[in-house]
Amino acid sequence: MGARDWYIAWLATPTEPFDPVAHKRADLPWAELDLTESEGADATSVTIVTARMPSSDLVGKTWAMLSFQHPNGTLYPVARMKRLPVPAGARDGVTTLRFEAGLLPGWKDLRDAGLAELKTQGAYAAILVSPTRQGDPTEILDGHRVIGHFDRVTGEYSTPELLGQGLPSRTFTPDDWVGWESGGGISYESTGEPIAGVQLTISTAWMQLLEGLFEMSGSIADLFPELNLRAPGQPTTVDQLFRYEMAPGEWSPDQVATGLSTPPDVIVGKGLIATLTPDELIAGWPKLGSSVGGQSGYVVVASTIDKASAASFTGLAQPNQPKQAGPVHGSHQRYPDYTKPKNNPDDPTEFALDITYLVAQLVLAFTCRQSREETFSVFVPNGACTDDDAPVRTLTLRCEDPTVDRTTTPWLPATQYAAGDVRRFGWYSWIALKAHKSSTSFRADVDAGNWKVAQTDGSYIGGPSGNTFFPSPGGNATFIAGILKALKIIALSQRRVAVGWDVPFEDVVGMSTAWHARVEADDLDLPGGFAEGKVTSFRVRDRADGDGWPRASIRIASCDGTGAAGAAGGEVRVGYLDEPWDVVAVSGFAVPPPDDPVIGVTASVENNVAEQLAFVQANDYRRGDPVRGDKTKNDPKALLRQVPTRVGFAAAPINGGPPLQHYIPALCSPWQGPRQCVPPSV
């Protein structure tokens, strides 16, 4: 048939519609023709050997339509092709021209549009891809068991399944292929060794943000217990009782005169901040903006402490409180006004110490940034591998920061916001606390109280305070995408039987690498009698001076899987298709993470009024006493300086700790794969 079968017509435009009449032209005479379409290549390669011609004859001739005249009389388009600018060379009076078919102008846009849908499916996890490579076709296709394909005539982009599932299919028998009459015609070979499975490891790391406030005022007040300041053996005479003032109504001279010999209890109510050293307590109270407990991460955001006024004191739960505590003893020389004149200034004199009540507030804010690392690990077995010494493939993936919110609308200046609006700025999302128009500075708006960090956002981990990733919905989607990548590796390793044969091109004019094919023969020609799989190579060769028909060489890749159903059960079932052999069961990944850092501040009180009074009474002045006879050293007010009331704080450090590491070892059932041939080892 030869030269009568093929037509090459130059096109005015790349997208000129095919016309079986107009394009039945031999604009470019040919001597040899070679069309090769290979899996994974964007373009179909076409080589035309033609009569030697000057390069000027090719000026303005870029696009051409290659057509085939079928014996039934129909002219079929075979390739819409673009001539490469430099001829491959001239020899023996001929010129070799090279073309690429399938890549129309804007082909990258067509590809990107076709891949966009894949980015919404479970085999793609954006967190496993660098933000700068989110549109990279290799990254998008990596987890999907498909491959990109451009139709060599229309330029349409598709993503055929690598195992041939769901593709146009054709079955070939010995009557179809060339060479069967002579006892051959089929090539059959193993292209690789089986693997035992894939060891998958996915890791991520983030900085957990914990924020909050501690209102310490109530807990500090609770540290001041109810105190009874009447010590055992306290003097009971009326004269002695009148030396220190009691709360009105609790004890009166009339009561003493009626014969009561035991003075009443002197009670300081629970929860009242009382002290005999108010100035020291006020001076040591935490200041606004200061840190509590060293550099532990707790900062004072509200702080007041004042002596209780009459108004504030009467508002307390126990307004009638003692104002003095005693008795204590100092030298008459130092305290002449407390008792009637004495002859000797060194004589001790009794008096009471003033009790001061304070009203205080203390609020602490904390911001904890805790480094966390989490690793998901699982071995995905190849259910079709029976070789104990088969190698294990390793797949190591690293996530981007799971706390980064890439979906929430960014904050903009000079924009009106309502209370509750959530916007992204920097690493975090923020919630508007009130309606306002934003300024030119986000920091200024935060300082003005317009925004605070949102505890939930559109990040993978759900918010800055998240303490675990892989057990979360976003983490589940990520490790499922990782397992699908591992299943693709196993599927490609099972697709290790290559089968090829030749057929007359007229029988397969429309076939391409986006097809599935099955070939059947007796066991002498084909082990097991059958093989099927996706077409990986489609090649057509012809010579103008040749005999017979143009031939198409077809090559498929067959899986040596078991075809058995995957294991039942599992917490999550993962697979590309709804086929029993295409599903694995994953379990054991619900491992609780390490606890959050211990966050808290504990307050304590040293030297309450009762303790201060007891210390002074145990060490105050006694004339002639060898231990307590020093008027200066044993002076009550000097003794108080040794036991001032203090409020101390013990804070759990929340910053600067080591990363909290979380290891999640999951279990996965074997992936069986389809039985598309009888493996060479069987």
Q: What are the residue ranges spanned by the domains of the chain?
A: 2-105, 108-193+510-539+551-558, 194-248+265-328+354-393+482-495+562-673
What three-state secondary structure class fits 71? Answer: coil
CA–CA distances in Å: residue 508 to residues 68, 187, 229, 544: 11, 19, 108, 20
Better-scored residue on pLDDT, 618 or 512: 512
620/625 Cα distance (integer angstroms):
10
How many other β-carbons are positioned within 10 Å of the β-carbon of residue 36? 15
What pLDDT digit, counting tens, does each position of 556-566 carry?
A: 999 999 999 98
Residue 578 has pLDDT above 60, yes or no: yes
Task: Please report which confidence band the pLDDT of residue 253 belongs to, taking 50, 70 and 90 as the band edges.
Answer: very low
Q: What is the DSSP string of 300-368?
A: EEEEEEEEPPHHHHHTSS-----SEEEEEEEETTT-TTSSS--S-TTSEEEEEEEPEEEEEEEEEEEEE
Is the pTM higher than 0.85? The answer reads no
What pLDDT digit, counting tens, does each position of 118-167 carry?
A: 998 889 999 999 989 988 999 999 999 999 999 999 999 999 999 999 99
Work out the percent of the chain whose per-residue pLDDT is above 90. Answer: 52
Better-scored residue on pLDDT, 588 or 21: 21
User: What is the predicted pLDDT for the residue at 321?
Assistant: 75
Mean pLDDT computed over 241-251 = 39
Of 176-190, 278-292, 575-589, 643-657, the least confident: 176-190
Mean pLDDT computed over 56-82 = 92
State the number of CA atoms in the 13 A half-sphere of 367 facing the CB: 8
* Contact present, 558 and 497 (Cβ < 8 Å): yes
User: What is the predicted pLDDT for the residue at 27?
Assistant: 92
Strand ranges, E, within 229-319: 267-268, 273-275, 291-292, 298-307
Peptide bond into 194 cis (omega under 30): no
What pLDDT digit, counting tens, does each position of 187-242 carry?
A: 999 888 899 999 999 999 999 888 888 889 888 888 888 777 765 544 433 333 33
What pLDDT digit, counting tens, does each position of 72-92 carry?
A: 999 999 999 999 987 655 567
Mean pLDDT computed over 1-22 = 86
**The two three-digit tokens of residue 288, written as one number:** 């606004």
Residue 495 has pLDDT above 50, yes or no: yes
User: What is the predicted pLDDT for the residue at 342?
Assistant: 55
How many other β-carbons are positioned within 10 Å of the β-carbon of residue 440? 8
Residue 243 has pLDDT above 50, yes or no: no
What pLDDT digit, counting tens, does each position of 281-320 carry?
A: 999 999 998 888 766 678 898 999 988 865 555 545 455 6
81/98 Cα distance (integer angstroms):
9
Mean pLDDT computed over 106-124 = 93
CA 110 to chain centre: 31
Listed residue (412, 419, 407) closest to 451, CA to CA = 419
Beta bridge partners of 583: 575
Q: Which amino acid is it at 345?
A: P
**Sequence-separated (6 or more) residues with CB below 8 Å from residue 623:** 331, 344, 346, 347, 348, 629
**Sequence-separated (6 or more) residues with CB below 8 Å from residue 218:** none
How many other β-carbons are positioned within 10 Å of the β-carbon of residue 582? 22
Task: Please report which confidence band the pLDDT of residue 2 belongs to, taking 50, 70 and 90 as the band edges.
Answer: very low
- Highest mean pLDDT range out of 46-50, 152-156, 285-289, 444-448? 152-156
**The two three-digit tokens of residue 180, written as one number:** 């069967």
User: What is the predicted pLDDT for the residue at 230?
Assistant: 64
Average predicted confidence (pLDDT) for the chain: 86
Q: Which long-range contacts (CB under 8 A, 24 or more apart) does 428-436 make?
A: 428/209, 428/403, 428/453, 428/454, 428/457, 428/464, 429/405, 429/453, 429/454, 429/457, 429/458, 429/459, 430/454
- Highest mean pLDDT range out of 96-110, 202-216, 626-640? 96-110
Better-scored residue on pLDDT, 137 or 656: 137
Listed residue (41, 60, 61) closest to 50, CA to CA = 61
User: What is the predicted pLDDT for the residue at 415?
Assistant: 95
Of 48-62, 136-150, 478-492, 522-536, the least confident: 48-62
Better-scored residue on pLDDT, 633 or 51: 633
User: What is the predicted pLDDT for the residue at 236?
Assistant: 37
Work out the percent of the chain whose per-residue pLDDT is above 70. Answer: 87
